[in-house]
Amino acid sequence: MEWLTDEILFYGGMIAAIGSAVAAAVYYIIACVRWARLSIRLDEEYGKIDCRKSNRDSELL
């Protein structure tokens, strides 16, 4: 009966690890989709933001 306990622990741990990896992948995909939707919504409301450095900083010096 000892072998059964060892196998249950081993395979149970493997299932838990695989389940955690799948849950992390699903969470990552959902987060990326929500981030993209938020970006689109913010661009619609506030316009696109130019990520380049503005000349305003050099004018202050």
Sequence ranges of the domains in the chain: 1-44
Encoding tokens for residue 10? 């081993």
Alpha helices in the chain (DSSP H): 2-46, 56-60
How do residues 3-61 score in pLDDT, each as one tens digit?
Answer: 678 899 999 999 999 999 999 999 999 999 999 999 999 999 988 877 665 555 555 55
> Could you give the angle at the alpha carbon of 45 between the alpha carbons of 55 and 54, nearest 5°?
5
In this prediction, residue 59 carries a pLDDT of 53
pTM: 0.64
Residue 41: Cβ-neighbour burial (10 angstroms; 0-12, 13-18, 19+):
exposed
- Separation of alpha carbons 31 and 33, rounded Å: 5
> To which residue do tokens 């929500």 refer?
34
